[in-house]
Amino acid sequence: MFKILKSLSKSLGGGKSAAPKPQAAPKAGGTLLDKVNKGAPAAATKAEPPKTAEELCGISSKMPKDEVRAQLKILFRRYNRSASSLDNKTRSEADKMLDAIVEVREKHFGEI
């Protein structure tokens, strides 16, 4: 398995055979990407209020029980797979969503 990963990384350019390329100096006006990135920290610093479990799951109070059950079923499939991910961010998001799914299910359909 390790040999396969090693050969794939070499074939995809992950090898150290090439010297690092010098990057061009940014223009005085900047690129579009630079302009977009300048605005990102201001948007990232805004604190969003925490969402309820229904909002996270996309459930409204007007939805019939059949639609709620179908939505929760789809979300459970998606996030149950992600719960075993090696990526910490993906796994923590999946755990958060699974907790929300359980909360909504208990609210609408009773204790599990």
For 64-93, write each residue's pLDDT tens digit: 999 999 999 999 999 999 998 899 999 999
Mean pLDDT of the chain: 75
98, part of any domain: yes
79, part of any domain: yes
40, part of any domain: no
CA distance 86 to 88: 6
25, part of any domain: no
38, part of any domain: no
Predicted TM-score of the model (pTM): 0.55
Q: What's the total number of domains in the chain?
A: 1
**What percent of the chain stands above pLDDT 70?**
57
The values of phi and psi at residue 8, to 5°, are -65, -40
* Identity of the amino acid at 77: R
81, part of any domain: yes
**Helices 65-82 and 88-109 meet at what angle, rounded to 10?**
160
* Identity of the amino acid at 47: A
65, part of any domain: yes
For residue 72, what pLDDT is reported?
93
**What percent of the chain stands above pLDDT 90?**
35
Give residue 81's domain range: 59-109
For residue 97, what pLDDT is reported?
92
Say whether pLDDT at 10 is over 70. Answer: no
26 Cβ partners below 8 Å, 6+ apart?
Answer: 34
18, part of any domain: no
CA distance 16 to 26: 26
For residue 103, what pLDDT is reported?
92
Q: Which residue, 57, 51, 61, 59, is CA-closest to 98? A: 57
